[in-house]
Amino acid sequence: MEQKRYDKLDETVFHGVLPNGLHIYVDVRPEFTKKYAFFASNYGGKDVSFTHEGRQQLTPTGVAHFLEHKMFDMPEGNALQNLSANGASPNAYTSGDVTAYHFECTDHFEENLKTLLSFVSTPYFLQESVDKEQGIIGQEIRMGEDDPFWIAYYELLASLYHNHPIKTSIIGTVETIGEITAETLYECHAAFYNPANMCLCVAGNIAPEMVAAIAAEIVQADGSPPPVRDYGEPEPPHVVRQDAAVHMDVSTPLFLMGVKLEGGGDGDALLKKLLIAGLMSEAVFGKSSPLYTMLYEEGAINASFAFEHEVLPDYAMLLLMGEGGDPRRVREAILHEAARIADEGIELERWARLLKAEYGSYVRGLNGLESVCRNLSAGHMYGYDYLRFPQVFKTLTKAEVEAAIARFLTADCCALTVVTAKEGA
């Protein structure tokens, strides 16, 4: 394990690579009593079309999420229950781009780490169990169909993206998960749970050599090359449609607005795009912005208003959401403010405050073991060193953020989905 010191952050991270290609990161925190482990595969809901070992495959939507559910099955019982019984707080999730298994504990860390690595690395699927899971996930899908934000989210993605499979549902549909077999799961596990397509991130008062030794003992699969993914035709910069409406049984209208950004790049260049996306949001409609205050006082937004951003090598976007108010007034005001900033620029004093606040949010994120591990994992998978953010922040200029606002916060790059009550509801 090689030690890397980040003096600006007072952080020490150990990094090693097993012969099978598994990357291991250990953030040593002597002052912490809790310990956290995060074992992730670069495999998510968008990865439905790929080539593995020379064979092209097109899987049903929802396989990555389905596989996550079934990975806890072991011949000797359920790994989730075993971890909980041993004092750990375990969980897992699947997003559009990653599947992750993690736990937190204070004691018995070595035993829990062995359990985590064992069940994720060892597939055990019985067709009878797969058939049963189809019913369980089918219920989850039907519940999602009654969730206004869930429906609005995928309606929004369909408005933003012409080709990219990020717009497809992570959990699939009742029809697509009905096509999943034990063989499907074994094939996708072999392709994406390849150690060279995964990383293990650990944080706490932990000996790096111990983590590496346990991983080398348990994760023994050969690291063949990761699958080659196919995300379809190149994505145009403009959205599919700028406005969509959904009618559901809601007592209060809600909205989601998306801004289509440009992904791509790696290293500091991609990390810089991530930082710029956050600063764009804060500059135009962040809670310290004049626009936010105006919209709130008008009643166009309320306390539910929130926003986030995603920046990956293959796609990037801003996402805004809220309840009540006047969604189309919100969009109009955001685009108007973006045009003003593009024309007049961000005031120098405000720019200094924005930069300081955004930098502070990244520093505060280092206080949480879970946040550190997730960010180390994301940086590894997408080709940048997350803990270099102080150096990248220094390269940011006001002009770059203003140019991004001018380029992306336009009607052509924005889509709005509004959920209102059905007539007569």
Output the six-digit token pair for 216: 């080398």
Considering the domain architecture, whether residues 189 and 332 belong to the same structural domain is answered as no
CATH of the domain at 298: 3.30.830.10
**What is the rounded average pLDDT of the residues 22-43?**
96
Residues 329 and 200 in one domain: no
Q: What SS3 state is found at 253?
A: coil
Note down the domain range covering 305: 243-421
pLDDT tens column, 352-395: 999 999 999 999 999 999 999 999 999 999 999 999 999 999 99
In which order are the strands placed within the sheet that holds 55-58?
A: 55-58, 49-52, 228-229
Q: Are residues 260 and 224 located together in one domain of the fold?
A: no
Strand partners, 318: 259, 309
CB 65 within 8 A of CB 220: no
**Would you give the DSSP letter of residue 113?**
H
Report if residue 295 sits inside a domain: yes
Query: Are 176 and 276 within one domain?
Result: no
Q: Is the pLDDT of residue 224 over 90?
A: no
- H helices of 249-383, in order, are 267-285, 290-298, 327-344, 348-365, 369-382
Average pLDDT over residues 37-43: 98
Catalytic positions: 68
Given a cut of 90, is residue 209 above it in pLDDT?
Answer: yes
Per-residue model confidence (pLDDT) at position 264? 86
Q: Is residue 111 part of a domain?
A: yes
Domain-located, residue 122: yes
In a domain, 82, yes or no: yes
Q: Are residues 129 and 95 part of one domain?
A: yes
Residues 53 and 7 in one domain: yes
Q: Give the rounded percent of residues in the chain with a pLDDT score beyond 90.
A: 92
Q: Which residue has the tokens 């949010």?
A: 361
Closest listed residue to residue 22, CA positions, set 188, 174, 212, 204: 212
Q: Is residue 391 part of a domain?
A: yes
Q: Is residue 161 part of a domain?
A: yes
Q: Is 407 exposed, middle or buried (0-12, 13-18, 19+ CB in 10 A)?
A: middle
Model confidence, pTM: 0.94
pLDDT at 222 over 90: no
Pair (314, 217) in one structural domain: no
Evaluate whether 260 touches 239 at the Cβ level (below 8 Å): yes
| Boundary of a domain, candidates 229, 252, 277 | 229
Classify residue 54 by burial, with Cβ atoms within 10 Å: 0-12, 13-18, 19+: exposed
Residues 215 and 265 in one domain: no
- The residue among 23, 42, 364 whose CA lies nearest residue 201 is 23
Same domain, 252 and 195: no
Question: In this structure, is residue 235 part of a structural domain?
Answer: no
Please indicate, yes or no, whether residues 413 and 325 belong to a single structural domain of this protein: yes
159 and 280 housed in the same domain? no
Within-domain flag for 309: yes
Same structural domain for residues 216 and 257?
A: no
Say how many domains are in the chain.
2
Between CA 357 and CA 346 the distance in angstroms is 15
The Cα 204–Cα 112 span in angstroms is: 14
